[in-house]
Amino acid sequence: MEYRIPLIAGNWKMFKTCNEAVNAATHLVKLVSDIDTVDIVIAPPFTSLTVVSEIIRETRIDLGAQDIFWEKEGAFTGEISAPMLISSGCQYVIIGHSERRQYFEETDEAVNKKIRAASDSGLIPILCVGETEIQRDEKKTFSVLDKQIEKGLEDLILDEHRPLVIAYEPVWAIGTGKTATPDQVQEVHAFLRDLIEKKFGNMISKATRILYGGSVKPDNVSELMALPDIDGALVGGASLQPDSFSKIIHF
């Protein structure tokens, strides 16, 4: 297996004012200054991107946004484009998070436009996929993921200069305290890597980092990171406190 640098990403969701974001980022910079073998991303709300980018400049921490719109500019009140994110210091953008799919009716077609706009502009998309509890109970996990990947990545061009990150986030495990078992996670990650190989070939599949997300905490991260197809974590709740996020990064 080729070596993929582990990636731990923190999704701050709709938490933290600018001051709170600056304080958290400043604290985190100190806590992870010894890290040189893990890529770290924090995704604050849009309003804090610029101030946080100043704090993490010249550190190992990269900046991510939590969403994007596919047009570059125009009369789209409330939306944020790829050039705007890049000029705010972002390298990554989370796309298709289950909260956006669930509460804002984001479709696979919209996700696909966002993924292509991000990737074409030089941002690294973190595509979130995952099944609901009902879908898992009905044994639809693999067909749901297959559709999310097929539609979400339609017509996407990938190469070594245009990488992709996938985050497998079972909806039933997000913010619930329920974590998928290591066997469940490995089974899905291997399935996703196989899908990527069929779609983009062996080289891309080996290079693509597949993160797990869903109630990752300091006390369960090392067990998950030991699995062969798990290349990191997308962390919600436990990324809000620099101490717990740093413990996860030090898995």
To the nearest whole angstrom, how small is the minimum distance from the Cβ of residue 18 to ligand PEP?
21
Question: How far is residue 27's CA from residue 136's CA, in Å, rounded to a whole number?
Answer: 39
Per CB under 6 A, the list member of 6, 7, 8, 11 interacting with ligand PEP is 11
Residue type, 230: I
130 binds ligand PEP (CB under 6 A): no
Cβ proximity to ligand PEP: between 98 and 186 the closer is 98
235 binds ligand PEP (CB under 6 A): yes
> Out of 133, 169, 187, 250, which one is annotated catalytic?
169
Residue with nearest beta carbon to ligand PEP: 236
Q: Which range, of 79-87, 139-147, 184-192, 234-242, touches ligand PEP by CB under 6 A?
A: 234-242
Is residue 169 annotated as a catalytic residue, yes or no?
yes
Per CB under 6 A, the list member of 137, 147, 175, 201 interacting with ligand PEP is 175
Is residue 189 annotated as a catalytic residue, yes or no?
no
Cβ proximity to ligand PEP: between 232 and 237 the closer is 237
Site for ligand PEP in 57-96 (CB under 6 A): none
To the nearest whole angstrom, how small is the minimum distance from the Cβ of residue 82 to ligand PEP?
21
The residues of the shown chain that bind ligand PEP, judged by CB under 6 A, are 11, 169, 174-175, 213-216, 234-238
Active-site amino acid positions = 97, 169
